[in-house]
Amino acid sequence: MKAVVTGATGCIGAVLCQELKAGGWAVRSLVRPGRDYGHISGYISEIHPGDILIPQTLVGLADGADVVFHLAARVSDYGSKKQFYEPILEGTRNMLEACAGKAGRFVQVSSITACGVGRHLNGQKEADRCFRSGIPYSDAKLDAEALVSSSSDRFPRGCVIVRPSNVVGPRSPWVDDVCRHFFTLMGIPLIDQGRYSASLVHVDNLVDGIIMAGTNEDAAGRTYHFCDDWQVSWKRYLTDLSAFIGKKPRGNLPFPLAWGLGHVMETLCTPLGLRPPVTRLAAGLMGRDNHVDTSKAQKELDWHTRVSYPQAMQHIGEYVKKTILA
């Protein structure tokens, strides 16, 4: 089996390449010129230099591929509309054009934020209505999903959309960025006392699901949610994570205040290219219950949580000590 992976140097992409290689796949990775890919060099068979925003560099990328796993995107809780829509929407459009008629299946790694941010998503199913929240990241993900869905008949084995919840593991923003934020003046406050489900999925468990989405013949044209069954609150996760670096969550913000502050801070900071201390995306994920329904993936793909929460935190703790505290 031959796979193409975009976003291969990221948190999810690196583990995906590793697991594909272990499963006997030949992996071709799209890597932007100048990008360091040393940490995945042992898992890939071929490097294709290129950029999802430059269509001519994608020529030949999907030739002979059984599955294209498209992960490349801007992953951040702040930025302008252009900074998100170019890589997420236009990048996906370019990938679909480059891969249609050449690859067997196209797997789009989206996000549960495509369902909408700022309201409770507990129990949300894949077929339930999604809504726009005015947040560029989540709205761009939703628009990209529409593109992929409308292109499914251009691939012999169709397109599949994967919606991960909050991904944790080495080099994840929910590990790296959060740990670094604990060292800032503001620190990390809880939102609504941190009582809602953190809606986490460990990167290893997610990658299991992504590969299943790429190989299950009945998955064509479908969308799947992936969220671990840990039922861990934000208070517990942030307390456990901060303990690795000798910190702890500081203070509490009611959700309406956090959401409003996020809007104000984004309005002030984004035009200046500055990182807002609070964002609506972070507030919406940490201040609402986003534990989506995963029964469809469990039933149709036989997906389940393989790595437990204690195992995940042990893994993350070892990573934090070797990198962030090094």
CATH of domain 2-166+200-228+289-306: 3.40.50.720
**The residue to which tokens 């468990």 are assigned:** 205
pLDDT of residue 111: 98
pLDDT of residue 204: 98
pLDDT of residue 185: 80
* 137: phi then psi, degrees, rounded to nearest 5: -60, -55
pLDDT, averaged per 10 consecutive residues of the chain (326 residues), comes to 96 97 97 90 95 97 97 93 96 98 97 96 97 96 98 97 97 95 90 97 98 97 97 96 95 96 96 93 96 98 98 97 90
pLDDT of residue 124: 97
Tokens of 268: 């002030």
pLDDT of residue 222: 98
Domain spans in the chain, listed from the N-terminal domain onward: 2-166+200-228+289-306
pLDDT of residue 326: 80
pLDDT of residue 293: 98
The Cα 249–Cα 232 span in angstroms is: 16
Considering the entire predicted model, what is its pTM?
Answer: 0.96
CA-to-CA dists, residue 147 to 90, 144, 165, 172, angstroms: 10, 5, 21, 26
E strands within 199-245? 200-202, 223-226
In this structure, the number of other CB atoms found within 10 A of the CB of residue 217 comes to 8
pLDDT of residue 184: 87
**The residue to which tokens 């992953």 are assigned:** 75
DSSP state of 219: G
